[in-house]
Amino acid sequence: MSPSSPTILQDRAAAGRRLIEPLRQYAHRPDVIVLALPRGGVPVAYEVASALDVRLDLMLVRKLGVPSHQEFAMGAIASGGIQILNEQALRVHPIDPATFDEVVARETRELLRREQVYRGTRAPLQLKDQVVILIDDGLATGASMMAAIHAVRAQAPSRIVVAVPVAPIETAEALRSEVDELICPIIPDWLMSIGHWYMDFTQTSDAEVIKLLQRAWQRESASDATAQGRSDT
């Protein structure tokens, strides 16, 4: 998709609705699963999964922020021991090994905490031969999404799609070569910050993540029960 003119998104739910039509071909398919990058990606992904009537789950990823500039990613980690480094960031902000390891340890603890809080005893993801749609509320360097892509690819899905509302052109092009399809309605030449493109970019809470996941999983359970009832008649 070519760079678009600037567009301000109302909030994350509205951003999710912007992604529905480009993903319409994946609606009502049992082999499709939407994976949100928490926390901000969950409200976006919830809108997509609900409209397309497909499964929703999480891809746990943590950005490795430069200690002196937390918003600047020097890499990212994802479930399954995946670690991605942003070599350019590390050249600009050299980090000694001990400090780097400390950041990795801290973010790994938070990743595991979120896994327990959000998914609890829910069975691990099974992505083999599935169409996986990875969704976040926007991309800056793309380090977190790249870690998510690597984590998903390790499970041999049939197709990987990345769908985000906004990403700078350099990041979008870098990711495009890593996946089967990239959906991104807003592609500015440069990105001051993801929040710059939203009217409401209030931080998503653990409580909101849990509420949306439970709502989606209840919908899936009801849909499965209906389908089972039809097959029994």
Mean pLDDT value of segment 127-141: 96
Q: How far is Cα 72 from Cα 86, in angstroms, rounded to an integer?
A: 10
- pLDDT top residue among 117 and 92: 117
The three-class DSSP label of residue 181 is strand
**CATH for 12-232, options being 3.30.9.10, 3.40.50.2020, 3.40.50.720, 3.40.50.2300:** 3.40.50.2020
**pLDDT at position 3 over 70:** no
How much of the chain, in percent, has pLDDT values that exceed 70? 93
Average pLDDT over the chain reads 90
Roughly how many angstroms between the first and final C-alpha of the chain, as a whole number?
Answer: 46
pTM beyond 0.75, yes or no: yes
Sheet arrangement for strand 82-85: 61-66, 69-78, 82-85
Residues in the chain: 233
Q: What does the domain layout of the chain look like in residue ranges?
A: 12-232
